[in-house]
A = this chain, B = another copy of it.
Amino acid sequence: MSEESKKRILERVEESFTEETDLLTRLVRTKSIIGREQEAQKLYAESCHNLGLSVEMFTPDKNTIKAHPAYTPIDLDYIDRANVIAEYKGSGSGRSLILGGHIDVVSPEPTHQWTHDPWSGEVVGDRLYGRGAADMKAGLAANIYALETLFDLGLRPRGRVIIESTIEEELGGSGGVLACFMHGVTADGMLISEPSKEKIYVTHPGIRYFRVTVQGKTAHAAYSHTGINAIAKMAPIIKAIEALDIERAERLRYPLVEKQTGRPCNLSMGKMQAGDWVSTVAGWATLECRIGFVPGETRQGVEDEIKKTIREATNGDQWLKEYPPKLDWFGWDTDPWMEPTDSTLVKKLQVTGSKVYGAPLELTGASGGLDARFGHYFGVPSLSYGPTGANYHGVDEYVDLPSLMRVTKTLALFIADWCGV
């Protein structure tokens, strides 16, 4: 491709960036909390259709995906929850490419802490705010506009390009990218435009969820001394998990992730529920946590560490000796993922980036799990690369719009380079 073509691609992305931002705004305004993705998927499918792609709304089948070793248990059904698979067949021979992204977002609660309506897509300066703005509706918009840019300039990729918008990444992606791969979607490479601060994610930690359940003994609050309070029994476990998180962060090393997040791994408490009535001694308590672990650690090793921590925290408690805390592993359940850093896909994306950034894209690790990990099981080299933003899963999530423009430019150049035009 000529330097002139490259220049026109970069200019064209800028020219259509208002439109791209408009699509992003509409995506943010269309709520798509995990499990209720359909309305946003329809909007995305329509955008793909308008681009001239052939669009399939693909509904996964739980029994099919359950059989796969990378399956993460997800307690939702698949009624009105389709993946969007949009295909451009390509004009001839050339490498094929999947441009992927997930449409689902996590709850914006506590919404009263937001200074911008989480469903507004409000723009202040360079920032577009909203739940999912960065994670990852910006990337989904970039995927469409990267391809549209080429089309606008009459550049028809030779290789096949598939744009995917998938569901339930936040729950592990079983019914999303995994299901699409099992459905037969494949290519010579996959890029997922997760918010990566414009670096290339080539690795992420192992991730597991677990739930600690402590049993107490209910009693009327007026006779609370005859009951056993599960909230009080949980307190030392909370302290021990908090301490283990700090100890692990000091003990373990994971350079590619550390340089991204400042931490090799995280052990986090997300949800606690206990008792159901103020005037009854809490008879049960559950605590749900997420643990990230580093290459070299095993799923079993992590499990043993949590068991030991709980055992030591409750050591000497006569009640808990008789009724030991229960430990369940649920939801996200993945080993650490690493893509070879010298693959053609990595090298080509790094070099393409230098056209936009003036230097090759940096390789780094994500601290969260990525849909890109599924590529490994299907022989599809896969990476994540996307815009800069902040407060993913938090209050006042936003995406940096100039970074989104740079990402769109890079993706457009990359499609042209990878697939040929």
Contacts and interface: CB of A to CB of B under 8 A. Distances in A.
Interface in A55-97: none
A394 B266 contact: no
Contact of A218 (B227, B262, B366, B395): B395
A54 interface: no
A16 B266 CA distance: 67
A229 B269 contact: yes
B274 A272 contact: yes
Interface stretch (A160-168, A287-295, A371-379): A287-295
Contacts of A284: 110
Interface in A204-261: 205, 209, 215, 217-225, 227, 229, 231-232, 234-235, 238-239, 242, 245, 249, 261
Nearest to A170: B279
Nearest to A237: B235
A113, A231, A272, A284 interface centre (most CB from chain B within 10 Å): A231
A72 to B, nearest CB: 12
Given A232-B269, A263-B225, A219 B282 contact: no
A367 interface: yes
Contact of A231 (B275, B278, B287, B395): B287
Contacts of A222: 205, 261, 266, 292, 366-368
Contacts of A298: none
Given A222-B266, A222-B367, A217 B279 contact: no
A272 B270 contact: no
A272 B282 contact: yes
10 contacts: A109-B276, A110-B218, A113-B283, A221-B268, A221-B270, A221-B292, A231-B269, A232-B238, A268-B279, A270-B278
